[in-house]
Amino acid sequence: MKQKHGAASQSLVQGDPLKDRRAHSLRAIGLALIFSIASGGLARAETPARGLPDKSFPESVTSTRDGALYVGSFNLGGVLKIAPDGKTEQLVKPGANGSRSTLGVLADEKSGTLYVCSNDLSAMGVEGPGDGKGASLKTFDLQTGAAKGSFALKDPKSFCNDIALGSDGTAYVTDSFAPYVYNLKPGATALDVWASDPALAPAKDGVGLDGIAAGRTAISMSPPTFRRSCSGSRSRMARQAASPS
C-alpha cells in the first residue's frame, strides 16, 4: 500500500507480481489505517477508527493537512474519505467519471483536486465497477467528489499505478505495464509521455514502475530492482535508471 501526503509519496510494495501486491495490500491496510487514525485519536482524544467495506482491497491512501484520509479500492472502485474523527463517506462513487478499479490516489489541496489511477482489471479476475477499458488518470473535486477530467494512458497494456505532484502543479504518473512516465500540466487536456526507455519496462515476472515522488529538483521512481532519483534531461534520467543501484 502506498501512503502519500500532498506531493510526497512512499511505496511500501515494490517489485512483486500483481497478485502478491494485492495480497500484501489486504494485509497491510488494516494496520496502516488503524495506526494512522488511532494514533491521531490518542493524541487528540478523537473517536475510534472505523473500518472499510469488506473486500475493498485498498492499494493506496493519501491525506490532507487536516488529517483526512482518502482511500481507493482494487475490488470495489471509488474513493472513500475518512475524516479525522473517523467518519467515513463515499467521496467518489464506484464507476464515477468512467472509473474502474482505483489504485494510486493523490490529494492536491492547492488546486482542490483528487488524482486517481483507474484500471480495468477484469482480465485478472477483478471486475470492478463499470465497463470501461484500459488505464486512465481521473481527476475529481477534492471537496465534493465531482468529476473534473479523464486522461487515458497511451498503451493498451498500460497500468496506471501512482501519481506525484511537482512544485508547478504538474502531475507525474507511472505506468507499471509499459515503459512510460507521463505528465499532466495544469490546464492540459491530455497526458504527455514525459520519459520512455526500455530500462523502465516491467520485469518478465512482475510489474514495472511503481511508486513515484516529486521534489523541487528531482523525480524519484520505484521499479522492482532499483530506486533512482532523476533530474535534468530525460535521457539522463533513463541512463540513471539503467545503471546499477
State pTM to two decimals: 0.72
- Give 175 or 27, the one with higher predicted confidence: 175
Please give the average per-residue pLDDT across 18-44, as a whole number. 44
Percentage of residues in the chain having pLDDT higher than 70: 66
Q: Which residues does residue 108 pair with via DSSP β-bridges, in sequence order?
A: 113
Looking at 107-111, 150-154, 197-201, which range is the least confident one?
Answer: 197-201
Predicted pLDDT of residue 213: 79
- Give 152 or 44, the one with higher predicted confidence: 152
Domain assignment of residue 115, given as a range: 2-242
- List the CATH number of the domain containing 68: 2.120.10.30
3-class DSSP string for 173-204: EEECCCCEEEEECCCCCCCEEEEECHHHCCCC
pLDDT band at 13; cut points 50, 70, 90: very low
Predicted pLDDT of residue 93: 96
Predicted pLDDT of residue 207: 74
- CB neighbour list of residue 157: distance below 8 Å, 6 or more residues apart: 177, 178
Rg of the chain on CA atoms, in Å? 17
Residue 31 pLDDT greater than 80, yes or no: no
DSSP helix/strand/coil, 42: helix
Secondary element (H or E) of residue 35? helix 18-44
E strand map for the chain? 2-5, 8-11, 60-63, 69-72, 79-82, 88-92, 101-108, 113-119, 135-141, 147-152, 160-165, 171-175, 180-184, 192-196, 212-214, 219-221, 228-230
Percentage of residues in the chain having pLDDT higher than 90: 45
CB atoms within 10 A of CB 208: 22
23-53: b (≥16 Cβ within 10 Å) or e: eebbebbeebbeebbeebbeeeebeebeebe
Predicted pLDDT of residue 48: 58
Q: Which residue has the cell 489511477?
A: 117
Predicted pLDDT of residue 147: 97
Q: Please, are residues 152 and 136 in contact by the beta-carbon 8 Å criterion?
A: yes
Predicted pLDDT of residue 56: 77
Pairing of strands 60-63, 2-5: parallel
Per residue in 137-157, pLDDT (tens digit) is: 999 999 999 999 999 999 888
- Give 178 or 190, the one with higher predicted confidence: 190
- Give how many domains the chain has, as a whole number: 1
